Amino acid sequence: MPEAAALELDGVEVRYGSVSAVRDLTLRVGKGEIVGLIGPNGAGKSTTLNAIMGLQPAHRGEIKLNGQALRRRSVESIARAGIALVPEGRRIFGDFTVEENLRLGLAARRRTYIGDPFGPAFELFPILSEFRGRQAGALSGGQQQQLAIGRALVSRPDLLLLDEPSLGLAPLAVDGIFKAFTEIREVGTTILLVEQRAQRTVALANRTHVLVGGELRMTLGPADADDTEKIIAAYLAS
C-alpha cells in the first residue's frame, strides 16, 4: 500500500428498514488523497457518507478511521474523532451569524491551536471574515457553501466528507469551491467528495468510484476525465 489509509470501508451494507440502500461497499481513502464518489440520484452516495458519520449506522461491515473502528459510536463522537461532513443542502444555521456558525464548528475540535481559531476558514474564504457579523441566512448560495465548508474545517478534521457541494451553485462559485478542494488537500486534509459533476470530479480526484444502485460499478482515474463515453457508460451500467 502506498499510503496509510485515512478511511477504510469494508463490506459495508446500509439499510433503511428492510431495504438496503448500499451493499457490500469496500473502498479506501489514503491520507492526503481526494477520492471521488459519483453516481446517479438515489445511488446511495449520501447514505454512504451518513453511514461513515454514524447518522445512519451500517447494518454490516466495518468502517475505520486511521485504523480505528467507528462501530456503534455516536455522531458527535465520530465528529470529535476527526471526521467532518459538509451535508447535503449545506445545513447552515440561517438565523445565526457567520461567526456563530463557525463557532459551532469548533465543537468537534480535538485540541486548541495557536492563532485565530477560524484561520482555516478565513484563509480559504476571506469573504467569511469580512461577513463574520452578518446573518448566515442572508449570504448568497455560494457564500453559504463556503461557510459550510469553513465550518467543517475549523474543527481541523483529518477527513472531510462533502455531499454534493456544487449543487445549485452558479458556475463561478463552482470553480471557486473546486479550487478550494485542491487547497484543502495541500494542507494535508483527506477528502471524500460526493458529486454529480462527474467530469470535474474525475479530473480532480486521485480516484473516483462510480456508485450505481448501491453498488460500486467502476473506478476511474484522472486520465479518464476526458473520456466522456466511459463516464456515461459507467453511469448506465445497471
Partner 1 sequence: MSVLASIDLQTLGDAFGLGAIYALMAVGIGLVFGVLRLVNFAYGQLIMAGAYTLAYTSGWPVAASIVSCFAVVVALSLAMDRVVFRPLRSSSPAVMLVTTFAIAFLLQAVALIIDLRDGQLGEVASSIAPLNQAVSVGGVDVRKVTFVAVGVALGALIALALVLTRTTIGLHTRAAASDFRTARLLGVRANRVIAFAVVVSGLLAGAVAVLLTVQNPFVQPDFALEDTIIVLVGVVVGGIDRLWTATLGGFAIGFVSVLVNAALPTDQTVFLPSVVYALVIVVLLLRPAGLFAWGRRAAMERV
Ligand X SMILES: Nc1ncnc2c1ncn2[C@@H]1O[C@H](COP(=O)(O)OP(=O)(O)O)[C@@H](O)[C@H]1O
Site string for partner 1, 86-125 (x = CB under 8 A): -x---x-x-xx---x--xxx-xxx----------------
Among 46, 155, 166, 208, binds ligand X (CB under 6 A): 46
Cβ 182 to partner 1, closest distance in Å? Answer: 24
Residue 16 binds ligand X, judged by CB under 6 A? yes
Query: CA–CA separation, 184 vs 205, rounded Å?
Result: 13
Among 22, 34, 53, 191, binds partner 1 (CB under 8 A): 53
Angle value at C-alpha 115, between 109 and 146, nearest 5 degrees? 60
Q: State the binding partner of 100 from Mg ion, partner 1, ligand X, none, CB within 5 to 8 A by kind.
A: partner 1
Q: State the binding partner of 134 from partner 1, Mg ion, ligand X, none, CB within 5 to 8 A by kind.
A: none
Three cell numbers, residue 228: 466522456
CB closer to partner 1 out of 26 and 77: 77
Residue 21 binds ligand X, judged by CB under 6 A? yes
Per residue, the 3-state secondary structure of the chain, as one string, reads CCCCEEEEEEEEEEEECCEEEEEEEEEEEECCCEEEEECCCCCCHHHHHHHHHCCCCCCEEEEEECCEECCCCCHHHHHHCCEEEECCCCCCCCCCEHHHHHHHHHHHCCCCCCCCCCHHHHHHCHHHHHCCCCEHHHCCHHHHHHHHHHHHHCCCCCEEEEECCCCCCCHHHHHHHHHHHHHHHHCCCEEEEEECCHHHHHHHCCEEEEEECCEEEEEECHHHCCCHHHHHHHHHCC
Residue bearing cell 459510536: 73
Residue 238 binds ligand X, judged by CB under 6 A? no
Residue 176 binds ligand X, judged by CB under 6 A? no
Cβ 92 to ligand X, closest distance in Å? Answer: 19
- Is residue 128 exposed (0-12), middle (13-18) or buried (19+ Cβ within 10 Å)? buried
Q: State the binding partner of 91 from ligand X, Mg ion, partner 1, none, CB within 5 to 8 A by kind.
A: partner 1
CB closer to partner 1 out of 30 and 105: 105
Residue 43 binds ligand X, judged by CB under 6 A? yes
Q: State the binding partner of 43 from ligand X, partner 1, Mg ion, none, CB within 5 to 8 A by kind.
A: ligand X
CB closer to ligand X out of 41 and 112: 41
Chain residues in the site for ligand X (CB under 6 A): 16, 21, 39, 41-47
Residue ranges binding partner 1 (CB under 8 A) = 53, 55, 74-76, 79-80, 84-85, 87, 91, 93, 95-96, 100, 103-105, 107-109, 151, 155
